[in-house]
């Protein structure tokens, strides 16, 4: 029998933890029966939900922890005082080699800080970044965007690093040899935007990366590039504005329906489209922000996720661990950095 | 007979100028027969379109100009070499007192730079900002956001100034005495985000402004605040991501329809909702970015606008000129700044 893939799960991370997390694990196990889950958190609560969802005893092992990192904890405080937490222990399982990846829906800043300390950054990487997969106008084509909030301020070198890591990540996920990379800016002309972005553009043009130039907020989901690179502040604003706009549209449609009985009746006939669109854009399907640049696979699940959302984050972690993501990023980065150095 | 309101129009500004601009003027005149338009641009082209749309001779006067500011021109170059352009001349009509407001769909950077030089900034204002009105989840409630791209980098003082100008602007537009102001950040906790934003928050808390705290990209259109304040880079990214997401959703729905004949047939029944939603979210209805902080009303129409889009920008200019926006911002800013100074 081949060795089972092991995933460490912070069962206490997220607004509906541990209930929603265990539902996600159940769903992930049903689809990946060769995966084994280490569940970190309050033993009694975990057991209760394991029974409720009917998770097989072959699927998991519980590591009892008494401490939980709260959403309001400062990352620096969490790192200092949270070493008995489910989050810290789950990350540690990757470092010790017991698990191949860790998933948490808890405090993003704390998860990033702990992951950096426990797993360490890859050689050659200055700043790890949060990356996520997002939908585009074209079915079957996704876009990877980073950084989504790990680094509020970035210099040109950081942006170039994000571009390299993003490209490697996209290649691993979708098999595209030379993903098209764009830099997020506020205009497509070369003279636009901030100094550090213009500098990063100059470096990327003389690099092995398939660099396409500046893109604007409008183009993120347009499918013209595969990887969108930005500082963590603008990236976070863009991601959340995207989510907010989807919500705005839903709300507007709901309001319009309320005002007209005819429209409400008619809407029943369009359920098939609504479902298709929902499936394509469901934020839960894109759940699973990845911390790129670490010595280990650490996946952030959305704090407000339900079971389906956590399942997608777990599935992302499983896929990346199976493909040995970190080793491949390391090799590829070395390759790119070496070739860049030589060209200089 | 009362004195007619006069609006200066850069007839050559925008992708479909002068055709779309003149269509907008025709529409604006039909709804505001007491307004007189000064049309700056190529006389022959303007006359051709004036005839085509049947604009009354009582509605306008043409000022022939031979130069046009291009979308690709650098603002600094436009200011230096573009003094015979339709844009410069139209702005100048406000300075000379001939017109009460200027509208252009041309190069944003050039329009801002020229407006600053020709009109000057209001006393007490360090950096003018671009503001726009956007829809929210609630019908009948709009949100004003600034800066949308005039200042890629801002310090705390700039953000505070934007908050004040935005609040005055909102009050004038919608009659809300104390508009709720939020600062765009990447988390709602006080420790999140960039230094300058935290500093601005501190100043705003001890100010006459009805300051509500940090908001995130998700909240921009949620209706929880009336004014969203951000630096020009993040604001521009947010605005364009919002537009891009609406486009993404439209594309996704179209694709879903293509794949299913049944869905396509069903969709006919939902046209009434689709129209209502479109009306509420139509970016053309929100056209008209305003340059706040200048000694004169200068409105930017979207470059890609059609006649309806330009009409909305013209209508915004007409409304603001009628309400004597600049004088009111000046008085209110003085009031707020004085009271802030005294409290210090």
Tell me how close the Cα of A239 comes to any Cα of chain B, in angstroms.
7
Would an 8 Å CB–CB cutoff place A244 in contact with chain B?
A: yes
Helix axes A195-205, A156-174, angle to 10 degrees: 50
Instruction: With beta carbons less than 8 A apart as the criterion, state whether B48 and B74 touch.
Output: no
**What is the structure's pLDDT at A83?**
96
The answer, yes or no, to whether residue B268 has pLDDT greater than 80, is no
Supply the DSSP symbol for B306: -
Spatial distance between the Cα atoms of A151 and A227, rounded to a whole number of angstroms:
18
E-state strands within A263-316: 289-292, 297-300
CATH 3.40.718.10 fits A1-121+294-323, yes or no: yes
Say whether B249 and A248 touch across the interface (CB within 8 A): no
Domain A1-121+294-323 and domain A126-292, same fold? Reply is yes
Spatial distance between the Cα atoms of B185 and B170, rounded to a whole number of angstroms:
21
Say whether A221 and B245 touch across the interface (CB within 8 A): yes
The answer, yes or no, to whether residue B338 has pLDDT greater than 70, is no
Q: Sort out which chain A residues have CB atoms less than 8 A from B223's CB and list them.
A: none
Say whether B189 and A280 touch across the interface (CB within 8 A): no
Q: Which of A236, A267, A276 sits opposite B217 (nearest CB)?
A: A236
Tens of each residue's pLDDT in chain A, 344 residues: 567 999 999 999 999 999 999 999 999 999 999 999 999 999 999 999 999 999 999 999 999 999 999 988 989 999 999 999 999 999 999 999 999 999 999 998 899 999 999 999 988 788 999 998 888 877 678 899 999 988 888 999 999 999 999 998 898 888 899 999 999 998 766 667 789 999 999 999 988 889 999 999 989 988 899 999 999 999 999 988 988 888 777 777 777 666 666 656 656 655 555 666 666 666 566 667 889 999 999 999 988 889 999 999 999 999 889 988 888 878 877 776 655 554 44
Q: Which of B217, B246, B249 sits opposite A239 (nearest CB)?
A: B217
Least confident of A58-67, B166-175, B331-340: B331-340
Q: Which of A193, A245, A273 sits opposite B152 (nearest CB)?
A: A193
Would an 8 Å CB–CB cutoff place B117 in contact with chain A?
A: no
Read off the pLDDT of residues B201-233 as tens digits, 9 standing for 90 and up. 999 998 888 999 999 998 998 899 999 999 999
Q: Sort out which chain B residues have CB atoms less than 8 A from A137's CB and list them.
A: 247-248, 251-252, 255
CA B24, chain centre distance (Å):
16
Spatial distance between the Cα atoms of A190 and A87, rounded to a whole number of angstroms:
43
Q: Which of A240, A251, A266 sits opposite B137 (nearest CB)?
A: A251
Query: β-pairing, B5-10 with B35-41?
Result: parallel
CATH fold for domain B126-292: Isopropylmalate Dehydrogenase (3.40.718)
Identify from A217, A220, A262, A264 which residue to disrupt to test chain B contact, counting B C-beta atoms within 10 A and taking the largest count.
A217
Say whether B237 and A237 touch across the interface (CB within 8 A): yes
Read off the pLDDT of residues B277-303 as tens digits, 9 standing for 90 and up. 666 666 566 667 889 999 999 999 988
Give this complex's ipTM.
0.80
Query: Largest alpha-carbon pair distance within chain B?
Result: 69
Say whether A272 and B259 touch across the interface (CB within 8 A): no
Average pLDDT, chain B: 87
Residues in contact with A237: Cβ distance below 8 Å, sequence separation at least 6, in sequence order? B184, B186, B216, B217, B230, B234, B237, B238, B241
Of the spans A218-222, A337-341, B98-102, B272-276, which averages the highest pLDDT?
B98-102
Would an 8 Å CB–CB cutoff place B33 in contact with chain A?
A: no
**What is the structure's pLDDT at A274?**
60
Among all residues of chain A, which has the CA nearest to that of B276? A256
Among all residues of chain B, which has the CA nearest to that of A137? B248
Q: How far are the Cα atoms of A107, A137, A240, B208 from residue B221, in angstroms, in the given order?
A: 25, 22, 11, 24
Q: Domains of chain A: which residue ranges?
A: 1-121+294-323, 126-292
Would an 8 Å CB–CB cutoff place A257 in contact with chain B?
A: yes
Say whether A217 and B243 touch across the interface (CB within 8 A): yes
Would an 8 Å CB–CB cutoff place B77 in contact with chain A?
A: no
**What is the structure's pLDDT at A37?**
98
Sign of CA dihedral A195, A197, A201, A203: positive
């Amino acid at each position: 029998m081949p060795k089972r893939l092991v995933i460490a799960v912070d069962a206490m991370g997220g607004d509906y933890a541990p209930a929603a997390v265990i539902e996600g694990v159940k769903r992930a196990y049903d689809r990946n029966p060769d995966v084994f889950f280490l569940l970190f958190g309050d033993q009694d609560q975990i057991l209760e939900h394991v029974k409720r969802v009917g998770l097989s005893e072959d699927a998991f092992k519980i590591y009892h922890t008494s401490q939980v990192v709260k959403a309001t904890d400062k990352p620096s405080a969490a790192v200092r005082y949270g070493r008995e937490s489910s989050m810290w222990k789950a990350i540690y399982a990757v470092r010790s080699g017991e698990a191949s990846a860790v998933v948490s829906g808890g405090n993003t800043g704390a998860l990033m800080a702990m992951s950096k300390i426990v797993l360490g950054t890859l050689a050659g990487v200055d700043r790890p970044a949060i990356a996520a997969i997002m939908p585009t106008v074209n079915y079957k084509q996704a876009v990877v965007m980073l950084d989504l909030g790990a680094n509020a301020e970035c210099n040109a070198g950081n942006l170039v690093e994000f571009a390299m890591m993003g490209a490697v990540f996209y290649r691993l996920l979708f098999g595209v040899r030379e993903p098209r990379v764009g830099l997020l800016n506020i205009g497509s002309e070369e003279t636009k935007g901030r100094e550090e972005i213009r500098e990063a553009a100059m470096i990327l043009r003389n690099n092995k990366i398939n660099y396409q130039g500046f893109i604007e907020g409008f183009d993120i989901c347009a499918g013209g590039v595969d990887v969108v690179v930005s500082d963590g502040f603008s990236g976070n604003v863009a991601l959340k504005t995207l989510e907010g706009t989807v919500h705005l549209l839903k709300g507007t449609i709901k309001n319009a329906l309320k005002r007209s009985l005819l429209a409400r009746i008619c809407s029943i006939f369009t359920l098939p489209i609504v479902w298709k669109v929902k499936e394509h854009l469901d934020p839960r399907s894109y759940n699973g922000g990845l911390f790129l640049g670490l010595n280990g696979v650490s996946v952030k699940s959305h704090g407000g996720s339900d079971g389906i959302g956590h399942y997608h984050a777990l599935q992302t972690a499983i896929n990346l661990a199976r493909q040995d993501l970190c080793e491949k990023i390391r090799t590829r980065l070395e390759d790119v950095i070496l070739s860049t150095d030589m060209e200089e």
